[in-house]
Amino acid sequence: MKRSNAPLFWALFGAGGMLAALIAPALVFITGIAAPTGFILPADAMSYERMLALTRNVFAKIALLAVVSLFMFHGGLRMYHSLHHLGFHTGTGSKVVIFGVALLATICAAWALLAIGF
């Protein structure tokens, strides 16, 4: 019998779901609301210099790569199943697109974080 690849996708889904459940509210609040509006945080909280210094840290690189990749694999699996729930029985095609983009994003993030340097 051919081995199912489902456990791999469910593991990534679970890891991303747990990471999102733990820190997504704070992360979205800081990057999407507090820093851009200067609410609570200073207006230059996410300045180029500051973000460059942050992303040169190897732990910050790993954390950002984990957030980008796992959030996409987590959201991707639910999106894939939601399509079916809404009556779009797209099958393998949508799976390839949804997870292909997630994989591509992971590679892009890794490349960019390495290009930023140490």
Q: Which residues bind other proteins (CB under 8 A)?
A: 14, 16-18, 20-37, 40-42, 44-46, 48, 50-52, 54-55, 64, 67-69, 71-72, 74-79, 81-82, 85, 87, 102, 105, 108-109, 111-113, 115-116
Q: Whose Cβ is closer to other proteins: residue 8's or residue 28's?
A: 28
CA-based torsion, 27, 31, 32, 33: positive or negative: positive
Residue 103 corresponds to which tokens in the numbers above? 């994989």
Q: Whose Cβ is closer to other proteins: residue 75's or residue 95's?
A: 75
Q: Whose Cβ is closer to other proteins: residue 2's or residue 85's?
A: 85
Say which residue the tokens 């509210």 belong to.
25
Measured CA to CA, the distance from residue 91 to residue 104 in angstroms comes to 20
Measured CA to CA, the distance from residue 67 to residue 92 in angstroms comes to 25
Nearest distance in Å: CB 7, other proteins: 14
Q: Whose Cβ is closer to other proteins: residue 1's or residue 86's?
A: 86
Nearest CA-CA partner of 97 in 109, 80, 78:
80
Residue 75 corresponds to which tokens in the numbers above? 């959201």
Nearest distance in Å: CB 2, other proteins: 26
